Amino acid sequence: MLKELFGTDKPVIGVVHLMPLPGSPRYSGDLETVLLRAEQEATALSSGGANGIIIENFFDAPFTKNRVDTATACAMTLAIKRISTICDLPIGVNVLRNDGLTALAIAATAGAQFIRVNVLSGAMVTDQGLIEGEAHDLHMYRRQLSAQNSVRILADVMVKHASPLGQDNDIAQSAKDTVLRGLADGVIVSGAATGSPPNWDDLKKVREALPNTPIMIGSGSSAENCAALLAIADGIIVASSLKRQGLVENPIDVERVRSLVKAVQVAQAE
């Protein structure tokens, strides 16, 4: 699936963190500035050799835990259309905190190829409160939009900034449920927080549980650790280490993108 979608077996997917959007508490009122920065960051990712792009309403925090404002969805759709005119990389959508239905609607109408869903199945306790998976509704909506073959679903397992409800911390079983019962096309394993790499034992447990399922690293990837991570995982979704000075609030640095892509290519060749 990854080779078909991204043209490589070990894709590097760069994240465009959108500045605050309409419908969020920190929106400045200037959407054009938001879109221009999105274009600049997408250009840096494309020029640096990334294999795909995913856009997130990252700076909309504090997030709503369910449906986002309609204006937010419209702005994200505009961002994708603007990005798609300047580069031909596959584009994904992640609508935070967990609005998979809106992400799917944006992807299907704007021509994006995949979405990221933080909680597809199960329930997680987060800073937004209790978030429950909506796998049934999401798959029914994908069928309604006739997007079963055009929009892939990548789902987090034990998503960052969250804890599972109750005492069940079995990441292997959670991964199986996400794929076998939630019907994710691929899974994402992250660390505890933005910029943190996944726990090594957790990553190995997910690989053992899902030997034939695409596994992406969702946080903490860098030029220094990508070889080790990709010895087990199938690709990386990366943002923080690509930013200028490594600061998440800064724009993407094309030279950091090039360094990471080169490190991944070297790791594949070994």
pLDDT band with cut points at 50, 70 and 90 for residue 195: confident
Pairwise CA distance, residues 215 & 154, whole Å: 9
* 229-238 residue pLDDT tens: 999 999 999 9
Decide if 30 is inside a domain. yes
Residue 27 pLDDT > 80: yes
Q: What is the pTM of this model?
A: 0.95
pLDDT value for 169? 78
Could you tell me if 56 and 91 are in contact, meaning their C-beta atoms sit under 8 angstroms apart? Answer: no
d(CA 207, CA 169): 16
Give the rounded percent of residues in the chain with a pLDDT score beyond 90: 89
pLDDT at 37 (0 to 100)? 97
For 185, the token pair is: 């096309």
Alpha carbons within 13 angstroms on the beta-carbon side of residue 109 total: 15
- How many domains does the chain contain in total? 1
| The pLDDT value given to residue 270 | 75
Q: Quote the pLDDT of residue 83.
A: 97
Is 104 part of a structural domain of the chain?
Answer: yes
Residue 187 lies in a domain: yes
Whether 4 maps to a domain, the answer reads: no
Asked whether residue 3 is domain-assigned, the answer is: no
pLDDT tens-digit map of 68-92: 999 999 999 999 999 999 999 999 9
Is 5 domain-assigned? no
Position 29 in a domain: yes
**In this predicted model, what pLDDT tens digit does every residue of 114-136 receive, in sequence order?**
999 999 999 999 999 999 999 99
* pLDDT value, residue 167: 57
pLDDT bracket for residue 182 (50, 70, 90): very high
Helices marked H in the chain: 2-6, 31-48, 70-86, 100-110, 135-144, 171-176, 200-209, 226-230, 254-269
Number of residues in the chain: 270
Integer Cα distance of 179 and 72 in angstroms: 29
- Predicted confidence at residue 52, as pLDDT, reads 98
Domain boundaries, position 100 = 10-269
Which CATH number characterizes residue 162's domain? 3.20.20.70
Phi and psi for 54 in degrees, rounded to 5? -130, 135
Residue 166 has pLDDT above 80, yes or no: no
Q: What percent of the chain has pLDDT over 70?
A: 99
Looking at the DSSP bridge assignments, the partners of residue 243 are 252
Q: In the predicted model, is pLDDT for residue 253 greater than 70?
A: yes
Joined together, the tokens standing for residue 208 give 């053992």
Residue 1: inside a domain, yes or no?
A: no
Q: Which of 205, 197, 247, 262 is nearest to 225 (CA)?
A: 197
